A = this chain, B = another copy of it.
Amino acid sequence: MAFSERVSRLKSSLIREILAAAQRPEVMSFAGGLPAEAMLPKVEWAEMPASMGQYGMSEGEPALREAIAAEARALGVPCDANQVLIVSGSQQTLDLAAKLFIDPGTEVLLEAPTYLAALQAFQLFGADCITVAQEADGPELGELRARLEQHKPAFAYLIPTFQNPSAVRYSEAKRDAVAALLDEFNVTLIEDEPYRELVFDAGSATPIVSRLKSASWIYTGTVSKTLLPGLRVGFLIATPDLYPHLLRLKQSADLHTNRIGQWQALQWLGSEKYRGHLAELRDFYRLRRDAMQTALLEHFAELAEWQIPQGGLFFWLTLKQPLDTRTLLKPALAQNVAFMPGEPFFVDPDQHPGYLRLNFSHVAPERLNEGLKRLAAVIKQAQADTAT
Contacts and interface: CB of A to CB of B under 8 A. Distances in A.
Interface of A: 1-7, 10, 13, 16, 32, 34-35, 37, 40-43, 45-46, 48, 50-56, 58, 87-89, 91-92, 94-95, 99-103, 106, 117, 120-121, 124-125, 152, 154, 188, 216, 224, 227-233, 241-242, 245, 248-249, 251-261, 264
Given A37-B54, A54-B37, A254-B92, A103 B5 contact: yes
A259 to B, nearest CB: 4
Contacts of A55: 32, 34, 224, 229-230
Contacts of A53: 40-41, 43, 227-231
Given A5-B103, A231-B53, A120 B261 contact: no
Given A34-B54, A106-B4, A188-B1, A46 B43 contact: no
B248 A13 contact: yes
A94 B45 CA distance: 31
Given A13-B248, A91-B254, A260-B260, A45 B46 contact: yes
A101 B3 contact: yes
Nearest to A102: B4
A32 B255 CA distance: 13
A232 B255 contact: yes
Given A3-B245, A54-B40, A124 B252 contact: yes
B117 A252 contact: yes
A241 B100 contact: no
Contact of A232 (B95, B242, B256): B256
Contacts of A50: 40, 42
A51 B91 CA distance: 21
A216 B248 CA distance: 30
A130 to B, nearest CB: 15
A51 B58 CA distance: 28
Report which residue of A52, A94, A254 has the largest number of chain B beta carbons within 10 angstroms of its beta carbon: A254
Nearest to A53: B228
A103 B154 CA distance: 21
Nearest to A258: B232
A258 B88 contact: yes
Nearest to A230: B259
A252 B120 contact: yes
Nearest to A261: B258
Given A254-B232, A255-B89, A100 B4 contact: yes
Contact of A251 (B16, B40, B260): B16
Nearest to A152: B2
A258 B255 contact: no
Nearest to A43: B53
A13 B253 contact: no
A121 B37 contact: no
A5 B103 CA distance: 7
Nearest to A40: B53
A252 B103 contact: no
A4 B126 CA distance: 11
A106 to B, nearest CB: 7
Contacts of A94: 252
